[in-house]
Amino acid sequence: MSQRLTFEFARPVDEVLAEARRASVPVESGLAEPDLVELRALIPELRYGLQYSSIEYFTGGEAPVLRHAPAQRVVAEALAAAAAALRELGYGVVIHDAYRPWWMTYVFWHVVPEELHHFVANPERGSMHNRGLALDVSLLDLASGALCVMPSGVDELSPRAFSDYAGGPEGPRRRRDCLRSAMVGAGFESLDSEWWHYTLRVDPLYPLMNVPVEDVGK
């Protein structure tokens, strides 16, 4: 069961949305030139899942199907290596989110109560999703084509979302650990509070971006 709405919003969502649209992305320097690509362009067998980080879903609506999943090319190349390793174990990769514009990070930060801020990024620093360097990933069973049961939903703000959560059935934890092993083996870093979140660290970083997802590549 999802636990994304077991809290009251710190501020009205409509108010924060309007504010986010007017806000400016933090100014940075010395960054790499973005090279965003659609993940399926490099990994055609990827399945796109539900965009759980969409504003609508995050604030109580239905999760929309992910139609575009851009990321930096280096991320796509590393994910291809992880997907190949997982394929050997009978798993496919499901992408629930990739690049997302900075304004969404602004909204999440300002509507989530302070005691839950460890689940969201501070817009002053931005999210690695805003740089095209982070992915939200889960697994499917290649034999059946069904999504794998994991220790929590990808939208959960609960202890079950932590990468070292030791409760629940052994099978979901084993699959979580298989995912982590393949992703880390391909160069990604995991996030302690979200088993599904992976970041590829590069130097120099790519900039925080506010380009609409559907406009990437145009």
* Binding-site residues from annotation for Zn(2+): 129, 136, 197
Residues in the chain, how many? 218
Phi, psi of 192 (to 5 degrees): -55, -40
Residues assigned a catalytic role = 194
Cβ-contact 102, 87 below 8 angstroms: no
Rounded distance between C-alpha atoms, residue 187 and residue 75, angstroms? 9
Q: Cβ(179)–Cβ(137) under 8 Å?
A: yes
Q: How far is CA 111 from CA 5, 39, 44, 97, in A?
A: 11, 30, 36, 20
Q: How many CB atoms lie within 10 A of CB 216?
A: 20
